[in-house]
Structure 1
């Protein structure tokens, strides 16, 4: 006999969101492989392309990552010469992150990715905007529950 209180996978909002995130991240892979970066590294680079000189903590806040997760990402990107980490002179506990010329050059190559992803998804601008607004609404509600 089936327990009516048992959660069913098909009734959960978390599962399709998980699958979508996993599948879309996978769709980025061929484009990011050409740039020699992972999806997580791409997210870090996008934050820095918007505003460089951020601290490790500021980047972590924007990406919802703790320093234990973010630091290895930054180290790998620094090893690839895409960024440079510098301790602040005023407070050596604070590390700021700056793009190198290679990191700035990577931005030019990455500019094509959003268009390629839109083409791959085959959604209209309106559909993508509506989806983004819905996802942002969910994220805001989740954030307000913390």
Structure 2
């Protein structure tokens, strides 16, 4: 662990989690992206399609493919937004709500298993560190900081 970089550990861990979720989702003829989308759509009020991408951290092209697949499989329906005719709201169908519950139980199982093996204090520190990393990235304090300017090589 000593010679691994923080970004390497984050990336390797996320790839392992992603692979695990995709293997589990495949048992139900689904994908992790489908499960994540199902969990991101409000099951009663629907969700504007424009809000899903940012909520899920997905690029528009990937999201479009995922939503098309979900619509083809009968998990969602798209309806014009009654408050804004230009917008589209995404609603879960009954089949989508069933798959959403499956996704929810899968995520809860993962969380419970981790909590059985990691102390509350360790989890608190984990979330604190991740929050700091996200703040540094959002505030563009990694590569745009004054430290970088001081350490740049002058040509």
Classify the TM-score, shorter chain. Answer: 0.7 to 0.9
Query: 1:49-128 residue pairs with structure 2 within 5 A?
Result: 49=42, 52-89=45-82, 91-118=84-111, 119=113, 123-124=117-118, 126=120, 127-128=122-123
Name which one, 1 or 2, has greater alpha-carbon Rg: 2
User: Partner of 2:30: helix, strand, or coil?
Assistant: coil
Deviates most, 21-30 or 89-98: 89-98
Q: What is the number of equivalent residue pairs in this alignment?
A: 137
The question of whether the paired residues in 2 share the 8 Å contact of 1:27 and 1:117 is answered with no
Structure 1 unmatched runs, 5+: 1-9
Of residues 128, 133, 136, the one that matches 1:133 is: 128
| Residue aligning to 1:21 | 14
RMSD, aligned α-carbons: 2.6
Of residues 19, 43, 59, the one that matches 2:36 is: 43
Q: What TM-score does the superposition give when structure 1 sets the normalisation length?
A: 0.76
Structure 2 unmatched runs, 5+: 142-155
TM superposition shift of 1:47? 0.7
